[in-house]
Structure 1
């Protein structure tokens, strides 16, 4: 049975995070085999189009659930909470100030070309991201969807900061 309305149902996963990656991968491989377009070479074109759509949905759902932040965004969206609302921003001024300070620290590290400080800063941000994700999981366990939404916004900030640090880490080898 193919159900593309809920990715958790599609992969026969419980509606909880974190995702069981072994089960996700196993179910993905099974669905890929079942709905691979090559298996339907002799069916009419309109059926091929449906199979291609199912295959695309499977791939998109897999990519979504495989990424912890995207999976959290998707899970919260199942509760009719819009995590993509452009007008919603974090209203926690302490968090925003903290983000500003973290970005200033990163700029200072970059200007000094202090690569050992960059590695230490990276480790700190990775730990902060893990701690924040743990807070998200606890909020979700309690079905506190509004708090979950706010924490997702925080995780997005941290993810962008991590990306910037990783780009800077790569850049150090170009100097």
Structure 2
């Protein structure tokens, strides 16, 4: 059986992940399995070390990102997050997302940077609320509810990313 990322990085299977513990264990494992330490080893051993090092990197990259960590956590329960049918069955939420996108477009066209900052802060707060609900569902083993929250979280993350791009654009004018 393949080690899961939590086990590989010697972490409890709990979200949110303790970032300092994650970094500490990652650095320890990277030192232990660094390919340079095995320069004189036989080729098959070098290949195994390279594979282990790649697994450690993949685990770290996944678990350091709260959304990817939640996706991975759900995958451990057999929940496929990247299905073809990534649908949210919440019409009010989808309508709200549409309206938020329109609001963002309006702010961009008006170049109202102060309002954009307030909008950004509000979206961060909403994203944090969705994330808190996601963690609650995961802790209660409500996997399908957690999956829906994860989809919502992705919407907010994408919207926030777009706001950040606009904010960068503001400074390049």
Same fold (TM over 0.5): yes
Q: 2:139 aligns with which of 128, 131, 141?
A: 141
Contact 1:4–1:10 (CA under 8 A) maintained in structure 2: no
2:61 maps to 1:57 = no
Per-residue CA distance 1:123-159 (angstroms, 9 max, x = gap): 0000000111000111011000000000000000001
CA distance in 1, matches of 2:65, 2:86: 22
**CA RMSD between the two structures:** 1.0
Partner of 1:156: 154
For structure 2, the residue ranges without an aligned partner over 5 or more in a row are none
Partner of 1:76: 74
CA distance in 1, matches of 2:47, 2:9: 22
For structure 1, the residue ranges without an aligned partner over 5 or more in a row are none
Aligned residues: 173
Q: 2:127 aligns with which of 129, 136, 140?
A: 129
Q: Which runs of 4+ in 1 moved over 6 A?
A: none
CA distance in 2, matches of 1:30, 1:173: 40
Taking structure 1 as the reference length, what is the TM-score of the superposition?
Answer: 0.96
Shift of 1:164: 0.1
Shift of 1:88: 2.7
Taking structure 2 as the reference length, what is the TM-score of the superposition?
Answer: 0.98
Partner of 1:91: 89
Per-residue CA distance 1:40-92 (angstroms, 9 max, x = gap): 00011121111111101101100100000000000001000001102131111
CA distance in 2, matches of 1:115, 1:138: 35
